[in-house]
Structure 1
């Protein structure tokens, strides 16, 4: 199994086991909602709203009926306005409160897992944009540059807080810190499994923002600096 796959899978399995933590639960909900609007909508049933399949066998709608563009937009706006934006506001408020705690190490693992989920969401969003550019043979790097700018700025802000306001990377590099904290065995086990995997992150995973681990791996770097992406 690839390092990227193993690290991501282990992290999400661990998050599922800790979804009783409010931050983790909300981050997972946000992640699922984002996947919900990435896939193109289609119609099932007799009423097709005037739409039909495409005769081109290479078209994604060759074997299914697309929804009208205006309906597609309306569904996306409902998900964004009713789920994504409210959830994100709640997550950021909770993160702020925990980061300002007098003892942030108490909630360190909950904060870390939420960050991992949010940054993995950024990776998938950028990968989806890269796929869209390639599929439609667009003559530009991004299909939606304003969206990419917004999410990369948000990712950089999250990482800045994680490293400079919290030093959240420390448990992965400072074994002594693990010994001084009363962390549950599950958290310590995750650290033990993750540290060796971090040594194998290289190549596109640290250079291509559309690749898995580009953003999430930045959580673990003690010498982290903001990444400037080329347009």
Structure 2
């Protein structure tokens, strides 16, 4: 698996370094991952924010660990040590990022330096192929089904059906994907912990909008 350079200051430069290291042109990478050439160009030049969905597709297409595309970003200044930090999000006022495959809501997005990253995900993809394949990243993940049903696909286990109220804790280093089943909209709470997760959330957060939870 190729390694992305870590000398850059934002994810776009790390993406460019990984692409050049593999001898790929922008158009070649565009064709490989089915992402518009113009989008890739904007990502590399820092003119478009890296959402989680884009990071997943790029990491899969380049064969790199997803964290390597954000590890090079300059670390955000850590807040001063304090007792009693908290972040409150009111219903329907979650920062979020959307794509055709998932919608991600980021509770506690304003709280930097978190030990874990909570994400509320609306699962939309009907197959692993629609997602562009399985993805892996360092750390661990907890998944709780809030509504609807899905399958957790992985490279080590048979697809795991999960319905409302079910939960699973798993190693994120195991390649995995969320696939929507049934007709009721599927929403899950994902809590991720591990190196790179905070940076990943901050990178996606550069294009956050207030997305309704309705």
The alignment's TM-score, normalised by the length of structure 1, stands at 0.24
Structure with more of its chain in strand, by fraction? 2
The alignment's TM-score, normalised by the length of structure 2, stands at 0.25
Structure with more of its chain in helix, by fraction? 1
Q: Which has the larger radius of gyration?
A: 1
